[in-house]
Structure 1
Amino acid sequence: MENPRQSAPYRSLDWLNFFLADVRDGLGPYLAIYLLAVHQWQPASIGLVMTIAGVTALLAQTPAGALIDRTPAKRAVVVIAAVLVTGSCVLLPFITSFTWVAVTQTVSALAGSVFAPAIAAISLGLTGPKAFTRRVGRNETFNHAGNAFSALLAGGLAYLYGPVVVFYLMAVLTVASVIAVAWVPGAAIDHHVARGLAHGPNDQDNPAGFALLLHNRTLLLFAICCALFHLANAAMLPLVSQKLSQVDLRLATPLTSACIVAAQLVMVPMALLVGARAEQWGRKPFMLVGFLILPLRGALYTLSDNPFWLVGVQLLDGIGAGIFGALFPIIVKDLTEGTGRFNVSLGALTAVFGLGAALSPGLAGFVVQAAGYNAAFLTLAGIAACAFVLVLVALPETHPRQGDAPSSSIPSAAGN
């Protein structure tokens, strides 16, 4: 349990997750709407610019984790990244060329690569490993609540003033995020614990990279499952947004916001459930449910173009993505505890599944142009089904007290 005497740092972390929710992912699906509605881009071009930005960001994931492992200025890193992401997006109304749009979104993606390891590190440094599962559940709860709140605002304001309003909303939320992170006291963060060191600062300056992951078959398998999950998942909401744009361009942004809000509202109880029960029930039961939902969702999108049906199906994303988002740092913590390599491993795995997410819009865009939207949804559903089967038959339980911890844990830092 979190220490009541440290309630102020925890509340500040709550608000940081709430306000940073809309900032950390940049424009997300709104980018597709903006480029389609304002600049009349083709789906393949939209997918390509999103893929370029995503693939470039992969190069920053592992170094970002290593930076967070080493630096005591974790809060400052969050502030700088938030400003860069927002600045890159606010420039979009003033540029029109493919090159400059790709550059701004690449900068946004690169800066955004630090958020996941930074928030995870600050959380672990505040709570310690025993309370980390519950803290992650709380982080994800406030993150999803923040996403729902900002999506409601974006939908309403975009309906009144047009899609460009989402840029300025992001700027306001960035200011709120900076204020929230400033209220997290740096002295309350144990930076040795924050990088996954259980017994002190041994080997804290040793470099870590992908070679470390090669010693852990479970972590490699988990990385493959995550990559397939995001390859199937990342393009689904942008595709739905494009379908909504074709039905009613004026309602595209509000309806996309409705999709986001619907999913985020479901993610809140899912994150709370993972935080409260993943210690007792283990990790794998949650993983199976989260991975099963994704192929079902992809198939259901093909049954109707009705906007209310599409928004309703998006509720399923709240179950799958809500479970996955909460479990991901917990499983990485299980497999890296005591090594001092938590954040660099988190960054490396984020790079692996980020590759799937980056390739997803490009793949889906080309399938749409070749065979239509339904074919793209079914292609993504097939990939998701493969990921579920892999989790079912090959991924072991990673909970230290329920799984086979000795054979699935990463070798100690001293041994690398």
Structure 2
Amino acid sequence: MASRSPPRLWPLYAVNFFMADMQSGIGPFVGVFLQERGWATGLIGTALTIGNVAGMLVTTPIGGFIDSSRNKRLWVVIPGICVVLASAIILISQSFWAVTLSQVAQSLASAAIVPAVTGITLGIARQKGFNALNGRNQAFNHAGNMVGAALSGYLGYKFGYVAVFVLAAVFGAIAIACVLMIPANSIDDRQARGSKEDESKNPPDGMSVLLKHKPLLVLALALAIFHLGNAAIVPLYGLAAVAEGQANGPSFVATTVVIAQGVMVVTSLIAIRRLPARARRAGRPLRRFARPRPSARACRSGHLRYCSSLTFSSQSTFLPFTDS
């Protein structure tokens, strides 16, 4: 058996920093970009919703592929390529189906990137170090969102929306380069699936694990309700402000994203210190489900893909079909 290389954490931090456009994409900017080109809000909502529904449908199967894959880095490379393609497509053509295709590509990237990076993190840090490393990952991720949004706002203000989409493609390319700098043998494949070192190689129970653990279902429902009410706020707010002529599109959208991500950077850093102690006080039964670590029994072995895919499938943005 090949020995594991010492973990190189800075490429992982860099991936989290530059993967911002893979996870949330250029979505907040797409709406105002299309609106300024004469699209009705109903048509914008239709195109974005088709893309997000496609992403929601592939989240569970793609999570399964990533969980069983022995090349987790590949599943960061593929979303990076999807982001580059999404940016290129929307720059080449603003026809309905071209924009819809770009949003499908973006949604595929978003569906794959989170379980892929989570698996890499778990494979490097193992269960004992996952919470701390994942918390730092989230801080870098939100910082990347802040920097990306600020740059997008500035470049969009100076050079137009083309610069925003070019920046998204550049971020995707850098993320690909960074993930390839992580040594493949520094990632423990069995640990990356949430398995313990002494756990036998039993096949996963499958989707039935979700029906056996009510806390997972409650968590998934809570996340779904939260995102249905929250995810479309920034795009809708941007559309409303630009439609009224109250703000410059790129700079206004960038400001809303920077404020939101700044709050989440601070929250991620606080969670690194506060969460383990809070989880211990919550008691052993609750800890198995409440702590955001795939080492809980429900997320071990083959269960990781279902736990992560169900959680992140709620992160879709649906815009109302109302024409202005």
TM-score normalised to structure 1 length: 0.70
Q: Residues 72 and 332 of structure 1: is their aligned pair in 2 closer, same or farther, counting only changes over 3 Å?
A: closer
**Residue-by-residue CA offset, 1:336-375 (whole Å, 9 max, x unaligned):** 3544421332113322x13xx34x323xx54x86xxxxxx
Q: Give the alignment partner of residue 266 of structure 2, picking from 251, 263, 269.
A: 269
Counterpart of 1:129 in 2: which secondary structure? helix
Aligned position for 1:69: 67
**Counterpart Cα distance in 1 of 2:10 and 2:93:** 39
Q: Residues 85 and 226 of structure 1: is their aligned pair in 2 closer, same or farther, counting only changes over 3 Å?
A: same
Q: Residues 349 and 65 of structure 1: is their aligned pair in 2 closer, same or farther, counting only changes over 3 Å?
A: same
**Residue-by-residue CA offset, 1:96-121 (whole Å, 9 max, x unaligned):** 32122112211221233110000100
Q: Give the alignment partner of residue 234 of structure 2, picking from 220, 232, 237.
A: 237
Aligned position for 2:30: 31
CA positional deviation for 1:207:
5.7
Between Structure 1 and Structure 2, how many residues are aligned? 314
Equivalent residue runs for 1:345-364 within 5 Å: 345-351=307-313, 353-354=314-315, 357-358=316-317, 360-362=318-320
Identity across matched positions, percent: 30
CA positional deviation for 1:250:
6.2
**Counterpart Cα distance in 1 of 2:98 and 2:66:** 29
Q: Residues 283 and 180 of structure 1: is their aligned pair in 2 closer, same or farther, counting only changes over 3 Å?
A: farther
**Counterpart Cα distance in 2 of 1:179 and 1:112:** 18
Residue identity in the other structure for 1:185: P
Aligned position for 1:306: none
**Counterpart Cα distance in 2 of 1:283 and 1:108:** 38
Aligned position for 2:82: 84
Equivalent residue runs for 1:34-183 within 5 Å: 34-38=33-37, 40-183=38-181
**Counterpart Cα distance in 1 of 2:178 and 2:135:** 19
1:334 aligned onto 2:296: yes
Equivalent residue runs for 1:2-41 within 5 Å: 6=6, 9-38=8-37, 40-41=38-39
Residue identity in the other structure for 1:18: F
Check the 8 A contact 2:60/2:306 in 1, yes or no: yes
TM-score normalised to structure 2 length: 0.89
| Structure 1, unaligned runs of 5 or more | 286-326, 370-416
The structure with the largest helix share of the pair is: 1
1:214 aligned onto 2:228: no
Range with bigger deviation, 91-100 or 223-232: 91-100
Aligned position for 1:223: 220
Residue identity in the other structure for 1:178: I
**Residue-by-residue CA offset, 1:169-209 (whole Å, 9 max, x unaligned):** 012112211121111111111110110111446346x3664
Residue identity in the other structure for 1:254: S
Q: Residues 37 and 208 of structure 1: is their aligned pair in 2 closer, same or farther, counting only changes over 3 Å?
A: farther
**Counterpart Cα distance in 1 of 2:102 and 2:68:** 28
Equivalent residue runs for 1:185-196 within 5 Å: 185-196=183-194
Range with bigger deviation, 210-219 or 234-243: 210-219
**Residue-by-residue CA offset, 1:100-155 (whole Å, 9 max, x unaligned):** 21122112212331100001000011111121111111011000111111111110
Residue identity in the other structure for 1:151: A
Counterpart of 1:184 in 2: which secondary structure? coil
CA positional deviation for 1:75:
0.6
Range with bigger deviation, 192-201 or 251-260: 192-201
Aligned position for 1:390: none
**Counterpart Cα distance in 2 of 1:148 and 1:329:** 26
**Counterpart Cα distance in 2 of 1:328 and 1:19:** 28
Q: Residues 83 and 201 of structure 1: is their aligned pair in 2 closer, same or farther, counting only changes over 3 Å?
A: farther
Counterpart of 2:248 in 1: which secondary structure? helix
CA positional deviation for 1:266:
1.6
Relative contact order, CA 8 A, sep 6+: which one is greater? 2
Residue identity in the other structure for 1:349: T
Q: Residues 120 and 284 of structure 1: is their aligned pair in 2 closer, same or farther, counting only changes over 3 Å?
A: farther
**Counterpart Cα distance in 2 of 1:69 and 1:15:** 22
Q: Residues 361 and 261 of structure 1: is their aligned pair in 2 closer, same or farther, counting only changes over 3 Å?
A: same
Check the 8 A contact 1:199/1:338 in 2, yes or no: no
CA positional deviation for 1:333:
4.3
**Counterpart Cα distance in 2 of 1:350 and 1:284:** 27
**Residue-by-residue CA offset, 1:237-260 (whole Å, 9 max, x unaligned):** 011111221243761210110111
CA positional deviation for 1:74:
0.8
Counterpart of 2:122 in 1: which secondary structure? helix
Counterpart of 1:183 in 2: which secondary structure? coil
Check the 8 A contact 1:16/1:181 in 2, yes or no: yes
Q: Residues 70 and 201 of structure 1: is their aligned pair in 2 closer, same or farther, counting only changes over 3 Å?
A: farther
CA positional deviation for 1:22:
2.3
Counterpart of 1:214 in 2: which secondary structure? helix
Check the 8 A contact 1:65/1:344 in 2, yes or no: yes
